[in-house]
Amino acid sequence: MSLEVPTLASLQAEGKKAEVVFWVGCAGSFDDRAKKITKAFVKILNHTHTPFAVLGSEESCSGDPAKRAGNEFLFQMQALQNITTLDAYGVSKIVTTCPHCFNTLKNEYPELGGHYEVVHHTQFLKSLIEKGTLKVAGGTYKGKRITYHDPCYLGRANRVFEAPRDLIKKLDAELVEMKSCKAKGSCCGAGGAQMFKEAEPGTKEVNIARTEEAMETQAEIIAAACPFCTTMMTDGVKNKGQEEKIKIMDVAELIANANDL
Amino acid sequence: MGYLPNFIFLILLAIGIGFFIRNMGRLKRSILIGKPAGRVDNKKARWQRMIRLALGQSKMGVKPLAGSLHLIVYLGFILINIELIEIVLDGLLGTHRVFAPFLGRFYDFLIGSFELLAFLVLGAVLFFWARRNLLKIKRFWKPEMKGWPKKDADYILYFEVVLMLLFLCMNATDALLQQREIPHYIQAGSFPISHYLTPFFAQLPTSSLLFLERIFWWAHIGGILLFLNYLYYSKHLHILLAFPNTFYSNLAPLGKFNVDSTIKNEVTQILFPERSQTPNEAVIEKFGASDVFDLKWTQLMNAYSCTECGRCTEVCPANKTGKKLSPRKIMMDTRDRLEEVSRNRIVNKGVYQDDQKQLLNDYISPEELWACTSCNACVEACPIAIDPMSIIMDMRQYLVMEQSAAPQELNAMMSNIENNGAPWPFNNQDRLQWVNDN
């Protein structure tokens, strides 16, 4: 099945507007693992005939990693350019699969003049189900033990704890919580620009520590809702030699698979 | 003797309170070294947060045992201190249990309740001491707790034990004097706990009892005044600062970092020169923070409010995996440096003389700063809404924007963003490549 991915520019040429812009993010665009999440989400958007568009080559880094690394100047350069692009298209609603983009677009862009309704893809998928546009069949994951890792910038930072969990529950799966979850959920180790550098000397890698917590639940699947968490946890499970037994899946991938998309 | 005791009491009280006021003045001047922080909006939500976190101790319940014992000590101290009003009046007027005739049976109830609370406080404090010294709970034995912080924690507990014992001994001897119908010792109060102490004093002659009762009474009020003045030098300052600290805490989502508006003007001028009508007048003196002067006053108040419980460090992913970073140490270092700067100002007639030191490097190393994942676990864990992460981020900003001293990989990441709009070296034109990937 080929994907329908209109860009805002192409829609504008046809005189059309998109209801919602899918902000793909850098990981979702370039990282091999994250691209699969992007595609899974688009499959659901196509399946539900959701009128959306992407920015394509007009999208640029939200500036989040620059800001967390301490480069406020570069962050604002990125943000102001993105705001100019989004405003030129009259964008009002944005959905993104990346909690880091989600957080900065939602919380930090307004002060720079960018005012949009920003939702995370787990919230968006939940609303599709509530509207009745998306049906989720339990089949594939029925009875499977799934644990959910809260991305810091989605959970603690923006208090989105239930939307991803509600989606997992729709799969008729057995949702098991880790010792530290929700507001107390431990970090995967990628945030604050750590993704792009070696860790400081210590006794353990942060992602290994979090993977161990996830493995304690005896889950077959570790669900995540962030491309960076997915990478970190995948590396963690590999490090433990458990990649055959434990899969790391974004919630969007679970929903897409459950619907045979 | 006449009015001599009243006079001595007045002097003692004046010194105790005067010294406390002096130190609170120093504290205020110290905190106001920081920059303006705003945070005067949404008063209603601020009051609510203060009532919930500081008064209601809602986050202390996360650790149920420690939380309930802490509540006992907190309630004990607040309620038993009602008794202070009477003690102060007695001291000044030369009366004894001045409220008793007015309150009748209710007075007995009050004194009885205070005694029960004092007993519970004693139990809780002994537990806290054992937990800190015998159980070796990890967060109490981190490197930053060596030396004074460890002693400070124990001193507070000893103070509390001594004060509670003095209170009970005072009542025990008083009760005996009442039994012996000594004039001045009116029949008042009930002594559910201290009556277990009376056997120790029962054999003493009345003259010794009178002497001991006075000793306990004076030592008790003296101890309280001493403890009050100990606060400024101690982590125990949290009993006062928890209130303003929660009131002025960050109400925005934890993920929202401060957006620097002066930089905004500059960036706008570079990107869109046509948009800015007036040239940018505001000159940015310094980006980020390398010393306490660069922090906001709320961040400095955070440092004084910290009681070094270590709930932040306990949940820090960097600290848990053996990195040097400890959010608690960030707060302790900030306070130590701030105290150093304040002392410097006092010695130099109110003007800080450069001491060739700063918070960065002399107290907090870049290694600590770069280990932070900005996960906000420390902020979430703090029972009184201290924000160690904001200091870490401000200091990172200084390292990057003033010193270009980011780790090399991060410089590469940032130049990628600058050059091709992504943290990795991919061509921005390939952003839609994934559509055609298999």
- From chain A, the residues in CB contact with B390 under 8 A are none
What pLDDT score was predicted for residue B277? 58
Q: What is the DSSP letter of B60?
A: G
What pLDDT score was predicted for residue B280? 55
Numbers of helices and strands, H then E, in chain B: 20, 0
Strand order in the sheet with A117-120: A52-53, A20-23, A93-96, A117-120
Contact A70 B406 (CB under 8 A): yes
Whole-number Å distance between alpha carbons of A177 and B411: 37
Contact A7 B432 (CB under 8 A): yes
**Contacting A residues, span 182-211, partner chain B, CB-CB under 8 Å:** 183-184, 186-187, 189-206, 208-210
State the best of B268, B374, B430 to mutate against chain A, taking most chain A CBs within 10 Å.
B374
Whole-number Å distance between alpha carbons of B41 and B248: 10
State the best of A3, A60, A200 to mutate against chain B, taking most chain B CBs within 10 Å.
A200
Does residue A135 surpass a pLDDT of 70? Answer: yes
A2-35: per-residue pLDDT in tens? Answer: 899 999 999 999 999 899 999 999 999 999 999 9
Contact of B182 with B212, CB cutoff 8 Å: no
**How far off is chain B from A33, nearest CA to CA, in Å?**
11
Contact B377 A191 (CB under 8 A): no
The closest of A192, A154, A100, A188 to B372, measured between CA atoms, is A192
Contact B317 A187 (CB under 8 A): yes
| B361 exposure class (CB count in 10 Å sphere: 0-12, 13-18, 19+) | exposed
A38 touches chain B (CB under 8 A): yes
- From chain B, the residues in CB contact with A190 under 8 A are 373
Contact of B163 with B125, CB cutoff 8 Å: no
Contact of B388 with B277, CB cutoff 8 Å: no
b/e code B47-72 from CB counts within 10 Å (16+ = b): eebbeebbeebebbeeeeebeebbeb
Residues 6 or more apart whose CB falls under 8 angstroms from that of A222 comprise: A146, A147, A148, A149, A211, A214, A233, A237, A246, A247, A248, A249
Question: Given pLDDT bands bounded at 50, 70 and 90, which one contains residue A1?
Answer: low
**How far off is chain B from A242, nearest CA to CA, in Å?**
21
The closest of B322, B332, B313 to B377, measured between CA atoms, is B313
Output the CA torsion B333→B338→B343→B344 (10° steps): 100
A148-168: per-residue pLDDT in tens? Answer: 999 999 999 999 999 999 999
- From chain B, the residues in CB contact with A186 under 8 A are 315, 317, 320, 375, 377
**How far off is chain B from A169, nearest CA to CA, in Å?**
26
**How far off is chain B from A174, nearest CA to CA, in Å?**
26
The closest of A72, A71, A78 to A101, measured between CA atoms, is A78
Task: Please give the share of chain B, as a percent, with pLDDT higher than 90.
Answer: 90
Question: Given pLDDT bands bounded at 50, 70 and 90, which one contains residue A139?
Answer: confident
Name the β-bridge partners of B381: none
Does residue B438 surpass a pLDDT of 80? Answer: no
Query: Tell me, what's the ipTM?
Result: 0.96
Q: What is the mean pLDDT of residues B131-143?
A: 93
| Number of Cβ pairs < 8 A linking chain A and chain B | 229
The closest of B434, B383, B322, B207 to A28, measured between CA atoms, is B434
Token pair belonging to B254: 């934890």
The closest of B337, B328, B435 to B381, measured between CA atoms, is B328
Whole-number Å distance between alpha carbons of A132 and A120: 19
Contact B376 A152 (CB under 8 A): yes
Does residue A137 surpass a pLDDT of 80? Answer: no
Contact A74 B421 (CB under 8 A): no
A9 touches chain B (CB under 8 A): no
Q: Which of A72, A107, A202 sits opposite B287 (nearest CB)?
A: A72
Instruction: Set out the domains of chain A in order of their start, with CATH numbers.
Output: 8-127 (3.40.50.1860), 136-258 (3.40.50)
Q: Which of B255, B381, B422 sits opposite A103 (nearest CB)?
A: B255
State the best of A2, A3, A23, A29 to mutate against chain B, taking most chain B CBs within 10 Å.
A29
Highest mean pLDDT among B179-183, B245-249, B270-274: B245-249
Contact A197 B410 (CB under 8 A): yes
B303-336: per-residue pLDDT in tens? Answer: 999 999 999 999 999 999 999 999 999 999 999 9
What pLDDT score was predicted for residue B1? 55
Question: Given pLDDT bands bounded at 50, 70 and 90, which one contains residue B81?
Answer: confident
Q: Which of A24, A31, A73 sits opposite B263 (nearest CB)?
A: A73
Q: Which of A108, A201, A208 sits opposite B256 (nearest CB)?
A: A108
Question: Given pLDDT bands bounded at 50, 70 and 90, which one contains residue B32?
Answer: very high
State the best of B326, B380, B413, B431 to mutate against chain A, taking most chain A CBs within 10 Å.
B431
Question: Given pLDDT bands bounded at 50, 70 and 90, which one contains residue B283?
Answer: low
Q: How far apart, in Å, are the Cα atoms of B36 and each of A108, A167, B3, B111, B194?
A: 20, 44, 50, 46, 51
Residues 6 or more apart whose CB falls under 8 angstroms from that of B90 comprise: B96, B97, B98
The closest of B164, B187, B184 to B175, measured between CA atoms, is B187
Contact B263 A72 (CB under 8 A): yes
CATH number of B261-427: 1.10.1060
Q: What is the mean pLDDT of residues B288-316?
A: 98
**How far off is chain A from B72, nearest CA to CA, in Å?**
26
Length of chain B: 438
Contact of B376 with B386, CB cutoff 8 Å: no
Question: Given pLDDT bands bounded at 50, 70 and 90, which one contains residue B343?
Answer: very high
Contact of A71 with B414, CB cutoff 8 Å: yes
A129 touches chain B (CB under 8 A): no
Q: What is the mean pLDDT of residues B226-249?
A: 97
State the best of B274, B323, B397, B417 to mutate against chain A, taking most chain A CBs within 10 Å.
B417
Whole-number Å distance between alpha carbons of B205 and A79: 83
The domain spans of chain B are: 4-31+63-247, 261-427
Helix (H) or strand (E) holding A195: none
Chain A: residue whose CA lies nearest to B407:
A197
Chain A: residue whose CA lies nearest to B395:
A70
A10 touches chain B (CB under 8 A): no
Question: Given pLDDT bands bounded at 50, 70 and 90, which one contains residue A140?
Answer: confident
State the best of A2, A71, A109, A205 to mutate against chain B, taking most chain B CBs within 10 Å.
A71
- From chain A, the residues in CB contact with B383 under 8 A are none
Contact A30 B437 (CB under 8 A): no
Contact B321 A205 (CB under 8 A): yes
Question: Given pLDDT bands bounded at 50, 70 and 90, which one contains residue B282?
Answer: low
**How far off is chain A from B336, nearest CA to CA, in Å?**
24
B152-196: per-residue pLDDT in tens? Answer: 999 999 999 999 999 999 999 999 999 999 999 999 999 999 999
Q: What is the mean pLDDT of residues B67-85?
A: 91
